[in-house]
Structure 1
Amino acid sequence: MTAKLPSSVVLTGRHIRLEPLERRHLADLWTAVGSDPEVWRWTMSLPPGTEEECGAILDERIAESAAGESVNFAVVDLAGGRAVGVTGYHDYSERDESVEIGGTWYARSVWRTAVNTEAKLLLLSHAFEDLGMGRVFWKTDARNERSRAAVLRLGARYEGTLRRHRLRPDGSWRDSVYFSMLADEWPAAKARLTERLSRG
């Protein structure tokens, strides 16, 4: 199967829906996340001080999607019908059958719930089963222990660390830790994620 590049789609599970990120999601996201320093701590954006500053961050993501540089989703909680986070596909290659899942942040109210597990299940299923990708990867700030642990729980493997990789908004340098999952590792990982969701 030849890999296909990701595009704007709607992916729906039992708990959440991933839908193309739009400006209309701003009010929900600002209400859910606001300038919570823990949510923004490991992103490459400074915490927004106002709803319009948050809107500017969304506008960057929306522009990237429009330019074909990434595919960004609003994560919508089906029970409440409101957006509670953002995630997406980045740095993808049809030739290399590779895609990054990243740019993810959620309201603190949905941390340690089914939201992230199902979002990753939907994104990984689409990447491997619909797009035909051979490798999905993640990169996290080396200091972000919570994110590193979450990626490992998905069944991804540590690949290495790029030192002094990116300049953080505060002027310090970030080391980036890379993880990946290959297509032949996906069936076992899918079974574990599905089981985790069924347990609530």
Structure 2
Amino acid sequence: MSLFPETVETERLRLERLTAGDLWDLYEYASTDAPDIDEVTEYINWNPHETPKETRDFLATVESQWADGDGATYAVRPRDGEPLAGEFGGTTGLGMEWNRRLGTLGLWLRKPLWGRGYSGERAGALLALAFERLDLDVVAVSHDPENDASRRAIEKYVDRFGGRKEGHLRNDLQFADGSVRDSVRYSIASEEWREAVGEDRDVRFVDEQ
């Protein structure tokens, strides 16, 4: 069995393992011609894909990380009754630093899914994965200091799950063009999360059959 579940289900979302089979969906929404791509990538540290080969190479890296246990990346698909139900809505993931028992959250969503609370919902699911299944000690998340939308979303779920703001880190993020930016970092510890959620686990893991 893989370290990571193939699918993670919440009330409104399905997080499905990102694979080479998602090539054309990912390229459609992560390429230079994708709708709203400049807004989507304004504060994140990857550039829009110039060619399908760039997308394919990225997916090969994602699959290698999965196989090696170094990270789990999922396609975000809203469930029935939600906007873009069943469609590719973006990606999310949990990067691993096993020697520090630390996980790092990442997320980007297509613009029609912004402002609906999906960030916090999938964070809750990946925190359950990190602490219940993978036995990590801490999960961290960062945002660009100028990204107010991410700040609001992150502060909301960090507070909900008992975490805290660690601080403003200078020159913390390196981008594909070689530039660097500051970041604001937060963390949630396993014991904080367990105290906050109690027995309330609104998440389902589905492993490969």
TM-score (norm 1): 0.78
Matches of 1:134 and 1:20, distance apart in 2? 23
Matches of 2:143 and 2:188, distance apart in 1? 15
Aligned to 1:87: 92
Give the Å deviation of 1:181. Answer: 0.9
Matches of 2:3 and 2:170, distance apart in 1? 29
- The alignment status of 1:112 with 2:118, answered yes or no, reads no
Contact 1:33 1:108 in 2 (8 A): no
Q: What letter corresponds to residue 103 of structure 2 in structure 1?
A: V
Matches of 2:6 and 2:182, distance apart in 1? 32
Which of residues 115, 137, 140 is equivalent to 1:137?
Answer: 140
Aligned to 1:161: 168
Aligned to 2:206: none
- The alignment status of 1:100 with 2:107, answered yes or no, reads no
Matches of 1:168 and 1:98, distance apart in 2? 22
> Cα 1:43–1:54, aligned 2, differ >3 Å: closer, same or farther?
farther
Q: What letter corresponds to residue 186 of structure 1 in structure 2?
A: W
Matches of 1:190 and 1:32, distance apart in 2? 34
Aligned to 1:15: 12
Matches of 1:11 and 1:55, distance apart in 2? 23
- The alignment status of 1:172 with 2:179, answered yes or no, reads yes
TM-score (norm 2): 0.75
User: Which structure is higher in RCO with an 8 Å CA cutoff and minimum separation 6?
Assistant: 2
Contact 2:71 2:96 in 1 (8 A): yes
Contact 1:6 1:89 in 2 (8 A): no
Aligned to 1:59: 60
> Cα 1:110–1:33, aligned 2, differ >3 Å: closer, same or farther?
farther
Matches of 1:120 and 1:9, distance apart in 2? 17
Aligned to 1:27: 24
Long gaps (5+) in structure 1? 196-200
Give the Å deviation of 1:77. Answer: 1.9
Give the Å deviation of 1:115. Answer: 2.9
> Cα 1:126–1:167, aligned 2, differ >3 Å: closer, same or farther?
closer
Q: What letter corresponds to residue 12 of structure 2 in structure 1?
A: H
Give the Å deviation of 1:194. Answer: 8.4
| Runs (4+) off by over 6 Å | none
User: Identity of aligned pairs, percent?
Assistant: 28
Matches of 1:166 and 1:139, distance apart in 2? 9
Give the Å deviation of 1:49. Answer: 3.7
- The alignment status of 1:78 with 2:85, answered yes or no, reads no
Matches of 1:119 and 1:90, distance apart in 2? 15
Give RMSD over aligned pairs: 2.8
